[in-house]
């Protein structure tokens, strides 16, 4: 399902974040308001963008935290995808590889969970590489 209004807002928010007009905290607040949509593209893009900022310390994507050329390309593709009428067709829409762990987790459980996450993430990576051209993500092909 494409949520045109949510995608338009997401494209603006992502562009403002990429350019340094929004801090990471402002970005998270604005993106958080988009999470009520059923549009899988917004969920997937949000989980991918999470990898490109620190969610513990407020900052902008400028100076030493500026995006490299590969990340700039990714942000550009995400913004462009959000402006299309394409459905998000990838098999995985949660691309965050680190799950939030409960407090007080013991070492044994953490070890088992860590192995499970690595296996799950390897499975996700295999699903993604088999589904389309991963270099074009979130598009399916160049």
**pLDDT, tens digit, for every residue of 6-35?**
999 999 999 999 999 999 999 999 999 998
* Tens digit of pLDDT at every position of the chain (142 positions): 999 999 999 999 999 999 999 999 999 999 999 989 999 999 999 999 998 998 889 999 999 999 999 999 999 999 999 999 999 999 988 887 644 444 454 555 556 555 656 676 777 778 888 888 888 899 999 8
83 secondary structure, DSSP code: T
In-domain check, residue 86: yes
In-domain check, residue 18: yes
In-domain check, residue 28: yes
- Residue 76 has a pLDDT of 97
In-domain check, residue 76: yes
In-domain check, residue 142: no
In-domain check, residue 31: yes
Long-range contacts of 14-20 (CB under 8 A, 24+ apart): 14/45, 14/49, 14/75, 14/78, 14/79, 14/82, 15/79, 17/49, 17/61, 18/61, 18/67, 18/72, 18/75, 18/79, 19/61, 20/60, 20/61, 20/62, 20/66
- Residue 99 has a pLDDT of 47
In-domain check, residue 141: no
Query: Among 37, 27, 53, which Cα is nearest to 93's?
Result: 37
Number of folded domains that form the chain = 1
Residue-range definition of the domain harbouring residue 30: 4-136
Q: Going by C-beta distance under 8 Å and a sequence separation of 6 or more, which residues neighbour residue 62?
A: 20
Helix (H, G, I), strand (E, B) or coil at 105: coil
* Distance (Å, whole) CA 86 – CA 29: 26
* Distance (Å, whole) CA 80 – CA 42: 12
- Residue 101 has a pLDDT of 44
What's the full length of the chain, in residues? 142
In-domain check, residue 66: yes
The pLDDT mean for the chain works out to 86
């Amino acid at each position: 399902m494409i949520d045109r209004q949510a995608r338009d807002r997401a494209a603006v928010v992502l562009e403002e974040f990429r350019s340094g007009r929004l801090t990471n905290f402002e970005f998270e607040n604005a993106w958080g308001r988009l999470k009520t949509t059923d549009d899988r593209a917004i969920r997937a893009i949000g989980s991918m963008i999470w990898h490109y900022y620190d969610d513990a310390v407020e900052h902008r994507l400028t100076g030493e935290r500026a995006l490299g050329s590969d990340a700039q390309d990714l942000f550009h593709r995400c913004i462009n995808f959000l402006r299309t009428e394409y459905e998000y067709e990838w098999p995985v829409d949660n691309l965050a590889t680190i799950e939030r762990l409960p407090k007080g987790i013991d070492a044994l459980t953490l070890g088992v969970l860590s192995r499970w996450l690595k296996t799950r993430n390897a499975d996700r990576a295999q699903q993604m590489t088999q589904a389309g051209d991963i270099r074009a993500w979130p598009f399916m092909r160049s």
